[in-house]
Amino acid sequence: MWRKVGKVLLVIAIWAVIVAYVVYAALVVRRHKLQQVVERVEVSIVDSTHLGNLITEQKVLDMLLEQGWVAIDTRVEDVPKSEIKDMICSEGFVDEVNIYASYNGTLHIDISQRKPLFRVVTGGYNSYITADGYIFRSPEHAALFVPVVSGTYTPPFDANYQGDIAQVVESVRVAAIDSVALIGKEKEPVYARIEHWKHCREEVRDSTVDNKKLRRRLYDYVDGHLRDCNRELEAIASRQQAVARRFENFKGRVNEFMAFVSLIERISSDRFWRAEVVQIVANVADSGSLWVELIPRSGNHTIIFGRVESVEQKFKLLGLYYEQVATTSGWDSYKSVNVSCAERIICTYDEK
């Protein structure tokens, strides 16, 4: 029995020592953190790729120096990590920032960049777009090797906008709802006037006026006001419908833009087309829809892709052209290859 008691006491003693050590170590670490100072700052772009970087370690260090937020021998606890993170994340191309200090006093700032799919450089626009529809302005003195879209097409967001395109849709939707509601408030006084004139009509009906012509004139007078009120209601309803149509048209433009994003993603994900397409031109057709042309590396022709629809069928037609036509007729025989109808290829000879 005493042997069992001794074993139990031994186990308790061992666990007591372990707990005491853990508590002591935690106190030591806590005291070290409270007294720890910044010995050096290390900035890492954790997802650098062959595409290049939109931000550099030196730029981040310059930003910190300009704000005076981090200096050697500053206590780690006094470093405003949240402010630094917000400042760096204000650059739209920065996705995440992780700030922490190692035991030796090194302040680590790890930065993840967004991965843009293409760059839009149409009139007044100079923005990068990611595959999931995040938009940010192109930073000065920095560029990535991604497809560049030029032309006359106007994307469905402001040139200086930064953020998710879904937020653009939501803000426009809320504005449309508010506008419809505001217009709808104009109906309230009209309804009040309608009730007034309806009451007047009842009074005419119940009056003791025997003169038929006078009664008819009174009816006409009241009915004229009622017609005016109904015309006002129709005009208000028409304005509300116009707001709703504008929002639906805007959603259509956004859907068209996202289809265009998917088209570029399709090109970028294909090894052959990624190397073959050197420029993407986005214009506006007479119908107002997006009209796409591709400038290939091989030959002197332009690929008229047309509307962003039947994408896979159009690429199949282009595959047939490259495999069966260009190899026999010559790469420089045509000035345009048109697959806009998605049912046939129309090749136009270069008559030079």
- Spans of all domains in the chain: 1-35, 40-113, 168-258
Q: What is the separation, in whole angstroms, between the first and last Cα of the chain? A: 109
SS (H, E, C) the chain: CHHHHHHHHHHHHHHHHHHHHHHHHHHHHHHHHHHCECCEEEEEECCCCCCCCCCCHHHHHHHHHHHCCCCCCCEHHHCCHHHHHHHHHCCCCEEEEEEEECCCCEEEEEEEECCEEEEECCCCCCEEEECCCEEEECCCCCCCCCCEEECCCCCCCCCCCCEEHHHHHHHHHHHHHHHHHHHHHCHHHHHHHHHHHHHHHHHHHHCCCCCHHHHHHHHHHHHHHHHHHHHHHHHHHHHHHHHHHHHHHHHHHHHHHHHHHHHHHHHHHCHHHHHHEEEEEEEECCCCCEEEEEEECCCCCEEEEECCCCHHHHHHHHHHHHHHHHHHHCCCCEEEEECCCCCCCEEEECCC
CA gap 37, 4 in Å, rounded: 51
Considering Cα of 303, then 145, then 136, then 255, what sign does the dihedral take?
positive
Q: Quick one: average pLDDT of 24-41?
A: 61
Give the residue-averaged pLDDT of 7-22: 64
What is the average pLDDT across 27-53?
A: 65
The answer on pLDDT for 245 being more than 90 is: yes
Instruction: Give the pLDDT band (50/70/90) at residue 32.
Output: very low
User: What separation in angstroms does the CA of 16 have from each of 12, 21, 30, 327?
Assistant: 6, 9, 21, 82
Alpha carbon distance 24, 51 (integer Å): 49
- Provide the mean pLDDT of the chain: 83
Strand partners for 118:
129
Which range has highest mean pLDDT (17-21, 65-69, 210-214)?
A: 210-214
Q: What is the pLDDT of residue 294?
A: 94
Mean pLDDT computed over 259-273: 92
Is the pLDDT confidence value at 251 over 90?
Answer: yes
**pLDDT at 222 exceeding the cut of 70:** yes
Q: Do domains 40-113 and 168-258 have the same CATH topology?
A: no
pLDDT category at 328 given cuts 50, 70, 90 is confident
- Indicate if the pLDDT at residue 300 is higher than 90: no
Q: Does domain 168-258 have CATH number 3.30.750?
A: no
Question: What percent of the chain is predicted at pLDDT more than 90?
Answer: 28
Q: Which of 45-54, 103-112, 269-278 has the lowest mean pLDDT?
A: 45-54
pLDDT of 295 higher than 70: yes
Residues 21, 96: Cα–Cα separation, whole Å: 36
Is a pLDDT exceeding 90 seen at residue 244?
yes
pLDDT band at 212 (very low <50, low <70, confident <90, very high): confident
CATH architecture, domain defined by 40-113: Roll (3.10)
Point out the least confidently predicted range of 25-29, 102-106, 151-155.
25-29
Biggest distance spanned by C-alpha atoms of the chain: 125
